[in-house]
Amino acid sequence: MVQVEQHKIKAIGCVLNNKNRPLKERFRALFTLKNIGGPDSIQAIADCFEDDSALLKHELAYCLGQMQDKTAIPVLVRVLEDTKQEPMVRHEAAEALGAIGSPEVINTLEKYRTDPVIEVAETCEIALDRVKWMQRKDETLKDNNPFASVDPTPPATSKNVDDLKKIYLNEEQSLFERYRAMFALRNIQTEDSILALTEGLKCSSALFRHEVAFVLGQLQHPCSVPHLAENLRNNSENEMVRHECAEALGAIASDECRKILNDYLEDDKRVVKESCEIALDMCEYENSPEFQYANTLSEVQN
């Protein structure tokens, strides 16, 4: 946890919670709070769940999960239980509970693993498996992640792309095992493994496709651009998937990606439109001399 004076954390929280500030500034404030950590940062993030942007609330939940602070559990449980929240927000709250990994959330995740919203139900199933894995401390499932993210599952142990691909694309397998294969393919970081990952963008589960897009964004490899663009351009695709494809294109940040994203800045789906806005801000960051994306602390130094 970074040591930052309380008044500066509150000032950053004010940026996050100010609906009159540009969304990209609020996102940068959010990730600054994530990096600072601690109860004041968590409270500032929690205060923002009444916002009307599903994209921002989804990202709030993601950041709370990545912080892995048990203090955030009551907030995330309330979001998961609130059926008025958008599915992508409730899904992310469930995933965040799995990322924190405390056994105290098992009953809540069990309750919502049969939720009528399939993305929420599937996320609770995976989150439960992750909590149980953390309880077992199973040494055969070490979370060797070169990307510094808290993933929904540990990677599979195999390094064979063909073997991993068979599990990854097998819809008869549990989502936990398919996610394990996904993260193992990501960690291999070859063009063959990345192209294998792109095939997952055609699988039946929207939750699965969304996670594939997230992983491709982490890899930032240009060979995935046509595949991400295809799902973004598909108006019948789940908006949660389209949003993640847009953000992945923003992470890759090529001229081609910028052109694609600009085409969808006025999309009919608000979450897609806003994702393209944030993705273009990421493009600017990736192609700039800025030291870090989460830079709001420097803006409130005085």
Q: What is the average pLDDT across 120-141?
A: 86
State yes or no: pLDDT of 191 exceeds 90. yes
Domain positions in the chain are: 1-137, 164-293
Asked if 1-137 and 164-293 have one fold, the answer is yes
78 φ, ψ to 5°? -60, -40
- pLDDT value at position 143? 62
At residue 286, the pLDDT reads 77
**Under CATH, which number does the domain 1-137 receive?**
1.25.10.10
pLDDT confidence of residue 233: 98
Evaluate if residue 291 carries a pLDDT over 70: no
CA distance 123 to 190: 28
Q: What CATH number labels 164-293?
A: 1.25.10.10
Residue 267 reports pLDDT greater than 90: yes
For the ranges 51-60, 144-153, 259-268, which has the lowest average pLDDT?
Answer: 144-153
Annotated binding site for Fe cation: 58-59, 91-92, 210-211, 243-244
Average pLDDT over residues 34-52: 96
Dist CA 131 CA 143 (whole Å): 13
Question: 2-26 burial string, b = 16+ CB within 10 Å, else e?
Answer: eebeeebbebbbebbbeeeeebbeb
CA–CA gap between residue 42 and residue 132 (Å, rounded):
25
Over range 30-47, report the average pLDDT.
96
Work out the pLDDT band at 215, boundaries 50, 70, 90: very high
Indicate whether 137 pLDDT > 80.
no
162-190 pLDDT, tens per residue? 999 999 999 999 999 999 999 999 999 99
Cα separation, 213 vs 124, whole angstroms: 20
Range 251-263 average pLDDT: 96
Question: Annotated binding site: which residue ranges?
Answer: 58-59, 91-92, 210-211, 243-244
pTM summary value: 0.93
49 to 9, 134, 160, 278: CA distances (angstroms): 18, 28, 42, 19
Confidence band of 138 (pLDDT split at 50, 70, 90): low
